[in-house]
Amino acid sequence: MVDAATAEKLEAAFKKLQGQESKSLLKKYLSAEIYDKLKGLKTGLGATLLDVIQSGCENPDSGVGIYAPDAEAYTLFADLFDPIIDDYHQGFKKTDRHPASDFGDLSTIVNVDPEGAFVVSTRVRCGRSIEGYPFNPCLTEAQYKEMEGKVKTIFEGLAGELKGSYYPLAGMTKEVQQKLIDDHFLFKEGDRFLQAANACRYWPAGRGIYHNDNKTFLVWVNEEDHLRIISMQMGGNLGEVYRRMVGGANEIEKAGKFSRNERFGFLTFCPTNLGTTIRASVHIKLPKLAANKEKLEETAAKFNLQVRGTRGEHTEAEGGVYDISNKRRLGLTEFQAVKEMQDGILELIKIEKSL
C-alpha cells in the first residue's frame, strides 16, 4: 500500500490536474475511475502512481504527461499507460505486440544524398535501460554511480572507430565543459518536465558523456534514459551512421542486459520512445518544397516522417534547414524504422529535384 504522505500528495496532484486546462494525454485518459483503481498500487521497487503522473500534473502544457518510474510500471499501471501509448503511437492496441529486435541487412541502408546537395548531416540514436535498475525517479545515488561504473568499463574496451574518452559530469573542468558545449555534445540538467518527474536527483552523480575520437559516436549516460546511444556524421550516408550505432549498441550491451518487454520492446523512461527507441534523422535543405511548408509536411507525413526546425521540436528552420526523422518507433523493427525514413528522404529529394 501507498503511505499516507504519498496518498495525500497524489490526491492533491489529481485535483490540480482536474482543475486545469490541459491538452495532455494524461488529462484525456486519467478518469476518476482509473485514478481510484491505481492510486493504492506500488511496484516492487516502490514506485507509485504519483511517480507516473506528477510531471503532467505540474505542467499542463505537456503533450503526454506521464513517465514510467521503472519497468514494472508499464504493466502495473497499464490501465493508464495502454490508452496513452495507443493514442501517441497512432494505434497500438492491448493485444498488439512489438516484434523481436531486428537490425536487418545493414548493407541495404544507403547514402541518401551521394551528391551532397541536400543533406547537411545524419544522425541515428536509440535509448536503452539496463535490466535490474529502476528508471530515473527511483534510482539511488549509489545505483547511478554503479551503472556509470559498469558502462565505463565497457567504454575503456571499445576499439577501432568506437575508441574514445569518457567525460563524467561530476568534477568536470570548465575547459572540458566548454569543449563539449562547442561540439553540441553536452546535455544539461533536465528541463522542467523532467524536473517535475523527479528525474534529476543527485545531479551530476553518475552522469557523463562518451565520444569516440572522430566525434561520430556518442553515449549519454543517465540523462533521460540510462543510455542514449548516438551515431552521427556530416553528409547523407545513413548506412554508415546506422551500422556504427548498431555496432556500438551491441558492444555496450555487454555492460548488462537491456531492459525489454515482450509487448513494448525496449523499455524507456518516456512512453513515446518505446519499441525500437530509434530516431533516425537528417538535417536537410529542401528550399523549393519548403516554400510551401504545408506541402512539405503533407509529403513527409505520407512516409510517417516528422518535420521539425533545425534545433528540434518547437524551433524554426534556420537557413531553410529542417530536421526530418521517422515518427514510428513502436510495432515495427529497427530495420523497418530506418528503412521507412530512408525511403521517405529519397522521395523528398526526388520531389525537390523535380520542382
- Check whether 241 is labelled as a binding-site residue: no
User: CB atoms < 10 A from the CB of 64, how many?
Assistant: 18
- Check whether 184 is labelled as a binding-site residue: yes
- Check whether 122 is labelled as a binding-site residue: yes
- Check whether 119 is labelled as a binding-site residue: no
Residue that has been written with the C-alpha cell 567525460 in this structure: 167
* Catalytic member of 228, 244, 263, 329: 228
* Catalytic member of 270, 329, 334, 340: 270
- Check whether 290 is labelled as a binding-site residue: no
- Check whether 282 is labelled as a binding-site residue: yes
Half-sphere exposure of 100 (CA within 13 A, CB side): 1
Catalytic (active site) residue 224: yes
- Check whether 123 is labelled as a binding-site residue: yes
Any idea what DSSP says for residue 256?
Answer: S
Catalytic (active site) residue 272: yes
Three-class DSSP category at 297: helix
* Catalytic member of 244, 279, 328, 329: 279
* Catalytic member of 33, 294, 313, 316: 313
Q: DSSP labels for 149-190?
A: HHHHHHHHH--GGG-EEEEESTT--HHHHHHHHHTT-PPPSP
Q: Give the list of residues 6+ apart from residue 86 with CB closer than 8 angstroms, or none.
A: 92, 93, 94
* Catalytic member of 268, 272, 276, 299: 272
- Check whether 43 is labelled as a binding-site residue: no
- Check whether 124 is labelled as a binding-site residue: yes
Catalytic (active site) residue 279: yes
Residue closest to 332 by CA, chosen among 290, 304, 309: 304
Catalytic (active site) residue 126: no
Q: Give the list of residues 6+ apart from residue 21 with CB closer than 8 angstroms, or none.
A: 60
Three-class DSSP category at 327: coil
* Catalytic member of 224, 240, 334, 352: 224
Catalytic (active site) residue 313: yes
Any idea what DSSP says for residue 310?
Answer: T
- Check whether 325 is labelled as a binding-site residue: no
Catalytic (active site) residue 308: yes
CA dihedral of 251, 253, 256, 262, whole degrees rounded to 10: -170
- Check whether 201 is labelled as a binding-site residue: no
- Check whether 283 is labelled as a binding-site residue: yes
Catalytic (active site) residue 251: no
The separation between CA 343 and the C-alpha centre of its own chain, rounded to angstroms, equals: 22
Q: State how far the Cα of 226 lies from the Cα of 303, in Å rounded to an integer.
A: 30
Q: Give the list of residues 6+ apart from residue 248 with CB closer than 8 angstroms, or none.
A: 158, 162, 217, 219, 229, 231
Catalytic (active site) residue 128: no
Helix ranges (H only) for the chain are 4-18, 25-29, 32-38, 49-58, 73-76, 78-88, 141-157, 174-182, 192-196, 238-252, 287-290, 293-302, 334-354
* Catalytic member of 6, 253, 308, 347: 308
The three-point CA angle 143-147-153 to 5° equals: 145
| Catalytically active residues, by annotation | 125, 224, 228, 270, 272, 279, 308, 313
Annotated binding site for ATP: 121-125, 184, 228, 279-283, 308-313
Annotated binding site: 121-125, 184, 228, 279-283, 308-313
